[in-house]
Structure 1
Amino acid sequence: MGSSAPQADSVNEAEVPLLGLDDKRTSRASWPVTVAMLLSLQLGWGLWLMPADFARLGWIPATAILVALMLATIYSGLLLLRLYQAVPNAVLFGDIGEAAAGSKGRSLVYWTVYSLDATRCIILHLAATQSLQHAADNSDCLLCGAIVAVIALVLGQVKSLAEISWFLSLGTAAQLFALIIVAVKLIVVPLHGAKTELVHTGEAAVSIVAVMNLIFAYGGQFAYVEIMNSMKKPAQFTSAVALATPIMSGAYLCLGMIGYWSRGRGVEEIIIFGTGMDVWSRVAAGAILFQALAQYLVNLNVWTHNVLTILARRKALQSSSHCNVQCAGDHKRLPWLLASACIIAYSFGISVSLPFFSTLVGLVTSVTYLTCAYTIPCWFTLRLLGSQISKAEYALCWAAVPLTIAFSCLGFGASVLALINNLGVGEL
């Protein structure tokens, strides 16, 4: 318990800015705001991988998996709401973990969330780098990655995300703007002779990575408990998920189908980079650069704050003193600079060394998103609510735990294999 408490506090403080609330959390979100929050959290870079995922799976499997994930996401939201209501004082996902499995449950949650934060910085650094490459028509990955690192380092020194909320809002608006440009271009200028398949029967590892990409696109359950805790009426959370998820799924299906129909099996990994190098395509790439940077700054802030808080509390514990860190603004400028610089450095190093976006997404999904979304909620439901749910639902949750663990292992192996292939041929 002694080692888990600092982690719990640090995530709590970090998640509040992520959800757009002030540190004292005096405000509460209405149902419409919660719907918007869910869309902002989940409708991210997975969108741009949709046409490539359709190409790696085919019309029928891709559509069926998207529908299944839509239903599974709504169900996971219901499970997490039940768990939240079963632990009245829960503020974080880790609080439910502690109630279900003690310190081991709490540690499992935070190890998973921390791993997710750390790896998302790498993915978003790569996303911003590739966006800049396309927008500037510059193939130098090292140079563009370094420019992104400098921008992130400068903007990352603003410790309060509220002070750069304008930039975060700009990122969301930029994505919607880019989506309109890309969809119009794909419809107006389809590739002559583009071939599609009802079911793609290519390399199994590539298809599994595509499934992981689809799961990544729905990832957001790691923050569901915090979102519930921010609501005026948490009992309405499931209905908010039930509205936001179909809207998100509609966007995924539309872009996936339009992109696959327009470009066929040879579609680019990130569809926005496969629409040419004209002015509008480069404008769209520049727009998603803002979105990538905005998400990068949020994750950089969360991860920097978490690292410094853990270090500060360990130091206080060793000296038998009190740790006064309550929020990101309490950290001194020099430690914040050094910690954020280290995070940016490893994100830059890995992203330019392994510039294979969907493969990295597959790796992250297999070890974090899938676990957060399904394995952990089902296990905690069995531990806390096993006697209150129906036999059919008990059997479903019981079967989901080993199945999702097995699929995580399968996804991890396929992603590693795809990564090895990437390194051999230089592309997915």
Structure 2
Amino acid sequence: MTSMEHDGSSLTVPLIADEEKQHGVGCKLEEIESNHDSLRTGTTSFFKTCFHGLNALSGVGILSTPYALASGGWWSLALLFLIATAAFYSGLLIQRCMEADPNIRTYLDIGERAFGKKGRLVASIFMNLELYLVATGFLILEGDNLINLFPNMKLEVGALIIGGKQSFVILVALIILPTVWLDNLSMLSYVSASGVLASAVTLGSVLWTGAFSGVGFNHKGTSLNWSGIPTAVSLYAFCYCAHPVFPTLYTSMKNKSQFSNVLLVCFFLCTFIYASMAIFGYLMFGSGVQSQVTLNLPTNRLSSRVAIYNTLVNPTTKYALMFTPTVNATKSCFPSHYSKKPYSLFISTTLVVSTVIVALAVPSFGNLMSLVGAFLSVSASIILPCLCYLKISGVYQRFGCEMVAIVSIVVMGVAVAITGTYTSVVQISGNL
């Protein structure tokens, strides 16, 4: 996703705990959502929190890791581990921010505690824009994989004929639209709490296809491709975009001192899965691997169809959960009409239609997720947590190893954001 979701996205789903809050790219936290008092006291065990954290980090980003590795070459795999380390450390900084002020409950609270209302606004913009674009990416992903399965599809509306991928994007949006109208998403969140399972099934299916379906692992690839490094690091960053979920995960824990261990387990396992998919996908398809590795799989094989259908089902169920915080944030801009059903339906429908328009205008999943990873995921998951911690803790007032480490991470994040965003915008502009 992280998302992936962050994420990094899941096949990623956000945590919807309070009206305005969290995203991530994937978890189902019914226990947290249903009882606000439990958020204050914390009732979730270590293992349940690990499960929720894995769902938050395991996302659609796994589909693009082979493409990221192909873009940058084998040595770019080191950047995956570098981004994972930086994201893990920024997750620890979020924990320290919450330990410093017990009134902090959400990711947006951290921004406000550090920089006031402006900090909250900036955090909200990055979070909701990321959710919006990831939801748009879901439509692109669905269109790509469905047209791969049914290449002769076309949609006729009167004299208008809409062919190929565009028709699938529109049809999927029509199917998803009623779920965005729902006031209670609890049933969807049960279906969607499958980020880590979906990632494991996809990885297993791809490996099975390579080992037993005649594809093999015969491509050597290139050692390093400098021109593809910005794309590679941007897609790697997209895999770790679940940080806005972390405050709620932390608050929900019964033993909050174990949260650092939760992060360690989640980042280790997810990085292992992401790296494995990158390596095996690159060995299978070499430089010809597409932005979604499922598009390279032979559709006449059962293992391939399992991977593809798994990829199709999860975003369909997760679109509404991912998109709801953005819808609610938009509705809150019109407080006098917020509770009126017709206005609510109009805003929800308009936003869904806008994602369809963007999905049709920017048809490349890889380019869009690269932009999300470079500009939004890096900002929300690495740069902002570091800056907020510096401000809240006062570390910026004294020179030391901690400050050097944090400033180095921020500088790296800014470099990734600038180069990755520029490269992504150029690529998207070239495909318009």
1:150 Cα deviation from its structure 2 partner:
0.9
Name the residue aligned to 1:271.
293
1:291 Cα deviation from its structure 2 partner:
1.1
- Output the TM-score relative to the length of structure 1: 0.85
1:138 Cα deviation from its structure 2 partner:
4.7
Give 1:30's match in structure 2, choosing from 36, 45, 70.
45
The residue type paired with residue 85 of structure 2 is L
1:295 Cα deviation from its structure 2 partner:
2.4
1:148-163 counterparts in 2 under 5 A? 148-163=172-187
Residues of 2 paired with 1:13 and 1:269: CA distance?
27
1:187-198 counterparts in 2 under 5 A? 187-188=211-212, 189-190=214-215, 194-198=219-223
Residues of 2 paired with 1:244 and 1:383: CA distance?
27
Q: Does the aligned pair in 2 maintain the 1:14–1:306 contact within 8 Å?
A: no
Residues of 2 paired with 1:13 and 1:272: CA distance?
29
1:253 Cα deviation from its structure 2 partner:
1.3
Residues 380-402 of structure 1 deviation map (CA, whole Å, 9 limit, x = unaligned)? 22212234987011122234334
| SS across alignment from 2:187 | helix
Is 1:45 the equivalent of 2:56?
Answer: no
Residues 122-149 of structure 1 deviation map (CA, whole Å, 9 limit, x = unaligned)? 1122122223223444561111011111
1:7-406 counterparts in 2 under 5 A? 10-12=19-21, 19-20=29-30, 21-27=32-38, 28-62=43-77, 64-138=78-152, 140-169=164-193, 173-188=197-212, 189-190=214-215, 194-201=219-226, 204=227, 206-280=228-302, 281-312=304-335, 315=336, 331-387=339-395, 391-406=400-415
Residues 177-209 of structure 1 deviation map (CA, whole Å, 9 limit, x = unaligned)? 3332221102333358634122234xx2x4311
Q: Which runs of 4+ in 1 moved over 6 A?
A: 13-17
Over 3 Å counting, the alpha-carbon distance change for 1:175 and 1:158 in structure 2 is farther
The residue type paired with residue 180 of structure 1 is G
Over 3 Å counting, the alpha-carbon distance change for 1:78 and 1:193 in structure 2 is closer
Q: Does the aligned pair in 1 maintain the 2:219–2:286 contact within 8 Å?
A: yes
1:217 Cα deviation from its structure 2 partner:
0.7
The residue type paired with residue 255 of structure 1 is M
Q: Does the aligned pair in 1 maintain the 2:55–2:196 contact within 8 Å?
A: yes
* Identity, % of aligned positions: 22
Query: Which ranges of structure 1 fall in alignment gaps of 5 or more residues?
Result: 1-7, 317-324, 326-330, 424-428
Residues of 2 paired with 1:145 and 1:379: CA distance?
38
| SS across alignment from 1:129 | helix
Q: Does the aligned pair in 2 maintain the 1:29–1:231 contact within 8 Å?
A: yes
Query: How many residues of Structure 1 are paired with residues of Structure 2 in the alignment?
Result: 397
1:175 Cα deviation from its structure 2 partner:
4.5
Q: Does the aligned pair in 2 maintain the 1:175–1:291 contact within 8 Å?
A: no
> After the TM superposition, which of the residue ranges 167-176 and 372-381 deviates more from structure 2?
167-176
1:348 Cα deviation from its structure 2 partner:
0.8
Q: Does the aligned pair in 2 maintain the 1:366–1:409 contact within 8 Å?
A: yes
Residues of 2 paired with 1:156 and 1:404: CA distance?
34
Over 3 Å counting, the alpha-carbon distance change for 1:366 and 1:60 in structure 2 is closer
1:256 Cα deviation from its structure 2 partner:
1.0
Residues 79-120 of structure 1 deviation map (CA, whole Å, 9 limit, x = unaligned)? 111011112110112222222122222222112112112222
Residues of 2 paired with 1:406 and 1:75: CA distance?
18
The residue type paired with residue 415 of structure 1 is S
